[in-house]
Structure 1
Amino acid sequence: MIPPQATKLFSTERTDVYRLTEHFSPAMEIFLKRNRENFTPFEPLRAEDYFSEAGIRQRITLSDLDHEARKSLLLVFTLKDSAEIIGSINFTNFIYGVFQAGHLGFSLDQEYEGKGFMYEALSSAMDYVRRQYGLHRIMANHLADNQRSKNTLAKLGFVQEGFARSYLKINGKWQDHVLNAYVFPEDE
């Protein structure tokens, strides 16, 4: 069941997209545990507490400060009219002034990969962030061998801008990343 306090921001043809709040902690725990093995090659090493409802609730509560300061927007999405989280979209590190940019991260339940759900939710989320936060640029980086992320970002219009050696410590080792960015058209 969707928490009654949930803030649905928008819907797409097949999904409902919500701001991630502490009310989603139980559903987020299920999502993370169900996909733990699938996400491991693409994420930092995680302590066991990362997957607990209490740990999730604590991270969400801390992230609320960044949201209130207009520095981030953390989203989750479900199938339309469902309570099961199938994906997350994180817009973080918002910088304003002359830069007007932020970073994007995303993950999708392995059962829904290859069906266009991430592209569908991300397309609308990008539009939402542009309208609500006035950003000019969104940056998204991925492991060099992560073809799914590469394809999703390319389909969204992201352009590869560089390559960073030993960029992030993923799954216990420093790994190279491809640097991408999407620049919103000036007339928007």
Structure 2
Amino acid sequence: MKLFSTERTDVYLLTEDLAEKFQQFLVTNKAKLAPFEPLRDEQYFILKNISERIKSSLKEFNERKSLMMVFTLKGEEKIVGNINFTNFVYGVFQACYLGFSIDDAHQGKGLMHESLKMAIKYVHEKYEIHRIMANHLPDNSRSSKTLESLGFKNEGYANSYLKINGIWQDHVLNSLILPESP
């Protein structure tokens, strides 16, 4: 299901009919993404398991707890990036977490910035989110620059924050504060 388009991308809700294309994205970028993600065994990349994770994410989507998106170049079918808004909290907090990754061949072209900009607007309007939090490894300058260009502010540093690539690693904490919905 297409959620929206940008100048150069089409952004979709990640659904089971996209499982094979998403598997291709994950397998193609396995080595590139490994230093930034939890350890992934071979089971993680099996189509059946990817389909199960998508099914689980759709349940959370229907419960308004998360939103998993993928994007392609406009008019094309190959997935070149993904954007995930997770752990939605409502009430007095109105916040969520953001994660994102892009195909190595498409890195550095501004596609992630373009897609994230519209995705943030979409989440703000559809979910009335006030705070989006996005954290990254201290040496991940690309994520740092992307977040900064979108208006995220550094809010601190967390020691031994997440177990990434099998090692507890520090993270830079960032957030984007959005105006109250009309």
What TM-score results when the alignment is normalised by the length of structure 1? 0.95
* Number of equivalences: 182
1:80 aligns with 2:77: no
Tell me which residue corresponds to 1:35.
Answer: 29
CA distance in structure 1 between the aligned counterparts of 2:2 and 2:162, rounded to whole angstroms: 32
Aligned residue type for 2:86: T
Report the Cα distance in structure 2 between the residues aligned to 1:31 and 1:91, rounded to whole angstroms. 19
Contact 2:97-2:133 within 8 A present in 1 as well: yes
Ranges of 4+ aligned residues in structure 1 off by more than 4 Å: none
What is the match of residue 17 of structure 2?
23
Q: Which residue is equivalent to 1:115?
A: 109
The DSSP-based 3-state class of the residue aligned with 1:44 is coil
- State the distance in 2 between where 1:64 and 1:141 align: 24
Unmatched segments (≥5 aa) in structure 1: 1-6
Q: Does 1:130 align with 2:129?
A: no
Contact 2:72 2:80 in 1 (8 A): yes
Supply the distance in 2 between the matched residues of 1:71 and 1:16 (Cα, whole angstroms): 23
2:50 partner letter: I
Distance 1:187 1:57 in 2: 34
Does structure 1 retain, via aligned residues, the 8 Å contact 2:124–2:181? no
2: CA distance, partners of 1:174 / 1:20: 29
Helix, strand or coil: the match of 2:3? strand
* Uncovered stretches (5+) of structure 2, i.e. residues with no partner: none
How high is the sequence identity, in percent, across the aligned residues? 57
SS of match in other structure, 2:65: coil
Distance in 1 (alpha carbons) for counterparts of 2:107 and 2:181: 33
Tell me, yes or no, if the aligned pair for 2:14 and 2:54 is still in contact at 8 Å.
yes
